Copies of this chain bind each other. A is one copy, B any other.
Amino acid sequence: MRMSKMFGRTLRDAPADAQTPGHQLMLRAGIARPLAAGLYTWLPLGFRVQKKVEQIIREEQDRIGAQEMEMPVLTPAEFWKETGRWDALEPITFRTKDHNGREYMVSYTHEELITHHGREEILSYRQLPVMVYHFQSKGRDEARPRAGLLRVREFVMKDAYSFDIDEAGLTTSYAAQHGAYVRTFQRMGLDAVSVESDTGAMGGDLAHEFQVLTDVGEDTIAVCETCDYKANMEKARRTMPAAAHADAPAATEIATPGVTSIEALETFLTKPASAFLKTLLLRAGGDVVAVVLPGDRAVNDAKLRKLLDVSQIVFAGDADFGRVGGVAGFIGPVGLKVRVIVDTSVERRGYVAGANKKDTHLENVLPGRDFPDTERADVHDVRTGDVCPIDGGTLALKRGVEVGNIFAFSTYYSEKMGATFLAEDGTRKPFVGGSYGIGVGRAVQTIIETSHDEKGIIWPFSVAPYEVHVVGLPMNDETVRSTADALVATLEDKGVEVLFDDRDESAGVKFADADLIGIPYRVTVSRRSLKEKSVELKGRASSEAELVPLDLAADRIHDIVRRAREAAAR
């Protein structure tokens, strides 16, 4: 490919709204361009990266016997209505109607659709197990697209689906996908760790995310410093210290005029946050609930949603406070006429809590004595320094990008959709399923975020848009031009993927662009190198260049590329 005619140009400066180093480099190198917030076009250079990432995913899916197919982007409402996700996914999806008024969703994922196909195509246990996958555009009406291709509103996802006879089969399929994911990310140069996660909108109980730990990530992961335990915050647990069972004198009122927050109480009473109880009055679905936590703990929204089996939780309104006998700013669990969920980290010792009376708190509030604490649940965030639930080590919180996720949803969809097969015992049984997703663009952006220097991208060989970047300097020198032309032709004949900078630009511009674009090997054909009857060869990640005799150059470069390919395919 000749750069002079390549569609897409490099930018000296990144647009001001590019948020992360990788976002800036992605735009500057000409990988993709936005058409609107979160809607991107892959320019030819980035398209090649995307296709290589896709091909790695495909090869690893094929390796575990998954069959490729393709479901459409526009999906009829009726299938989503069978599972209730038509309504549940409304806030995050794009919908359209045809001119007869029939409704469609721009596909969010394809669980409903593949379950439908399964019930049509699979008649008997003899056809099981089976795994299928496709690459298809997904729509997500994200409120805040961010960091280039990291969080967008349209993206191609590889989603795979497994159909099994029973839970044991699902366990096997899930493990096969887990293994495929480990190889997939490793091959594309991503250091992804598998993390326990919540099943969220997918249903079911068992799920893992593959997280790449990087500061630009928007997820928080609890990681044990001494063992393998890693969990998404939605799922992270901790070992509690042995619970205090201290008695306390009778609860008594104390005046706290205008002191309505834990922070203000800490100052006013000169006690640590852990001395207080925090009571949150919330609306979940149609119900009002109170959640009680120690003052130094934050509630985890996802854990609470899972517990209450709702898709959204909001703060209760003034009317709700009145109805349950709570006073905003001074709410506490004592005497509250509502369901009270007590976080597992609340101990049976005296706390200061709101008195449900203006400008007043209660001292020596003892859970279990002064208010019922029988409904206990882990609804708090773990934090750095907490104790690992596996080995007792110390947990640390890290930022991560979720590059893949796998869900063992079991019969969640097949039961709702009446998707059954004839079992060996002659009965009809629901399919036992899982789904497995990887976003292609997010993987590309994460590779850039984790593999670059101040000058530009450093592509892992396996996903580089081209293998060799040939620079001719200057192109108006007839010998340089003809030598570079011949070298490029020879390399291309040998099957090497070459980007040839044949532009009439200065050495400074060309080298800067080569570093920015980040192709693994740069070969410079210049007046100076030709004086030595040589070309200059430099690895993108290395600081040293070497001279290679011109008559050996093509073979030598081809050999390096061949070995790099072999290493990348392992």
Interface residues of A (CB under 8 A from B): 1, 4-9, 30, 33, 35-36, 39-44, 47, 50-51, 65, 67-76, 79, 91, 94-99, 102, 104, 106, 113, 116-117, 120-123, 126-127, 129-130, 132, 134, 137, 139, 141, 143, 153-154, 504
- Residue of A6, A73, A95 most packed against chain B (CB within 10 A): A73
Contacts of A120 in B (CB 8 A): 33
How close is A494's CB to chain B, nearest CB, in angstroms? 18
Given known A35-B116, A98-B94, A132-B44, contact A69–B7 (CB-CB < 8 A): yes
Contacts of A47 in B (CB 8 A): 68-70, 134
Given contacts A4-B127, A99-B143, 9 further A-B contacts (CB under 8 A): A7-B132, A8-B69, A41-B69, A41-B70, A42-B71, A47-B68, A47-B69, A94-B98, A126-B504
- Residue of A67, A68, A154 most packed against chain B (CB within 10 A): A67
By Cβ-Cβ distance, the 7 closest A-B pairs, closest first, are A44-B67, A42-B70, A36-B76, A94-B96, A96-B96, A41-B71, A47-B69
Contacts of A35 in B (CB 8 A): 71-72, 75-76, 79, 113, 116
- Contact for A73 among B67, B102, B143, B154, CB less than 8 A: B154
Determine if B121 and A43 form an interchain contact, defined as CB atoms under 8 angstroms apart. Answer: yes
Determine if B123 and A9 form an interchain contact, defined as CB atoms under 8 angstroms apart. Answer: yes
Determine if A153 and B98 form an interchain contact, defined as CB atoms under 8 angstroms apart. Answer: yes
13 CB-based A-B contacts, threshold 8 Å: A7-B132, A8-B69, A30-B121, A35-B116, A39-B104, A41-B72, A41-B117, A42-B70, A73-B139, A96-B96, A98-B153, A99-B143, A126-B504
How close is A12's CB to chain B, nearest CB, in angstroms? 13
Determine if A6 and B67 form an interchain contact, defined as CB atoms under 8 angstroms apart. Answer: yes
How close is A152's CB to chain B, nearest CB, in angstroms? 9
A126 to B503, CA, bound (A): 9
Given known A96-B96, A98-B141, contact A39–B74 (CB-CB < 8 A): yes
Determine if A7 and B94 form an interchain contact, defined as CB atoms under 8 angstroms apart. Answer: no
How close is A100's CB to chain B, nearest CB, in angstroms? 9
Contacts of A70 in B (CB 8 A): 41-42, 47, 50
Contacts of A141 in B (CB 8 A): 98-99
Determine if B73 and A137 form an interchain contact, defined as CB atoms under 8 angstroms apart. Answer: yes
Contacts of A137 in B (CB 8 A): 72-73, 137
Contacts of A67 in B (CB 8 A): 1, 6-7, 44
Contacts of A134 in B (CB 8 A): 47
Contacts of A68 in B (CB 8 A): 44, 47, 51
A51 to B70, CA, bound (A): 10
Determine if B95 and A69 form an interchain contact, defined as CB atoms under 8 angstroms apart. Answer: no
A42 to B68, CA, bound (A): 9
- Residue of A1, A35, A39, A132 most packed against chain B (CB within 10 A): A35
Report the nearest B residue to A71, measured CB to CB: B41
- Residue of A9, A74, A117, A154 most packed against chain B (CB within 10 A): A74
Report the nearest B residue to A102, measured CB to CB: B36
Determine if B41 and A113 form an interchain contact, defined as CB atoms under 8 angstroms apart. Answer: yes
Contacts of A30 in B (CB 8 A): 121
Contacts of A5 in B (CB 8 A): 65, 127, 129-130
Report the nearest B residue to A136, measured CB to CB: B137
Contacts of A121 in B (CB 8 A): 7-9, 30, 33, 43
A95 to B98, CA, bound (A): 9
How close is A196's CB to chain B, nearest CB, in angstroms? 30
Determine if B9 and A154 form an interchain contact, defined as CB atoms under 8 angstroms apart. Answer: no
Determine if A96 and B91 form an interchain contact, defined as CB atoms under 8 angstroms apart. Answer: no
Report the nearest B residue to A48, measured CB to CB: B68
How close is A82's CB to chain B, nearest CB, in angstroms? 13
A65 to B7, CA, bound (A): 12
- Contact for A39 among B76, B139, B504, CB less than 8 A: B76
How close is A119's CB to chain B, nearest CB, in angstroms? 12
A120 to B89, CA, bound (A): 36
Determine if A117 and B75 form an interchain contact, defined as CB atoms under 8 angstroms apart. Answer: no
A143 to B98, CA, bound (A): 9
- Contact for A96 among B50, B106, B143, CB less than 8 A: B106
Report the nearest B residue to A105, measured CB to CB: B96
How close is A190's CB to chain B, nearest CB, in angstroms? 21
How close is A500's CB to chain B, nearest CB, in angstroms? 14
How close is A424's CB to chain B, nearest CB, in angstroms? 14
